[in-house]
Amino acid sequence: MKYLVLLGCLAVFHAASGLECYSCDTETCKNDMKEWGKNKCGGSADTTLEPACQKIVFKDKDGKEVVNRKCATVPKTGEAPCPTTPQGATDVKCPVCKTDLCNTAASVQYSFAAAATVFFAFLFM
């Protein structure tokens, strides 16, 4: 039981430390992931919104793929709207995620603290 409390506290402290997201535009997003910037996302005074990481991908009017990664502020419930893209943009995709540095390639991300809590809960049942 002590381990569950400890892991729960770690998960809470981790969540309170602020979300960190990759930040890059089309040119720098082409570089090695190690060269991408990292930003701490700020919160919002609006309690219906929360910080998230976002990857925006679209094709410009010439058919060239454009990729941007950044912090975003999204609704806590429902879908996050895509930001405004340049006129003529097509195939717009803008997934959001809410774990640190999760706006890389399309993949499933999970919280280690949450996974460990579930594991130990089953272990000690």
Q: Give the best-scoring range by mean pLDDT among 6-15, 54-63, 100-109.
A: 54-63
Answer whether 0.85 is exceeded by the pTM: no
Coil, strand or helix at 55: strand
pLDDT tens string 17-50: 699 999 998 888 888 888 899 999 998 889 999 9
Give the span between the Cα atoms of 31 and 21, in whole angstroms: 16
Look at residues 56, 57, 70 and name the one whose alpha carbon lies nearest to residue 101: 70
Domains and CATH numbers, the chain: 17-123 (2.10.60.10)
Does 74 or 107 have the greater pLDDT score?
74
| Pairwise CA distance, residues 57 & 25, whole Å | 10
Cα-atom radius of gyration of the chain, to the nearest Å? 17
Q: What is the pLDDT of residues 59-90, one digit of tens each?
A: 999 999 999 999 999 999 877 888 888 888 99
Which residues does 57 contact at the CB level (< 8 Å), separation at least 6? 65, 66, 67, 91, 92, 93, 94
Q: How many CB atoms lie within 10 A of CB 67?
A: 16
CA distance linking residue 125 with residue 112, whole number of Å? 20
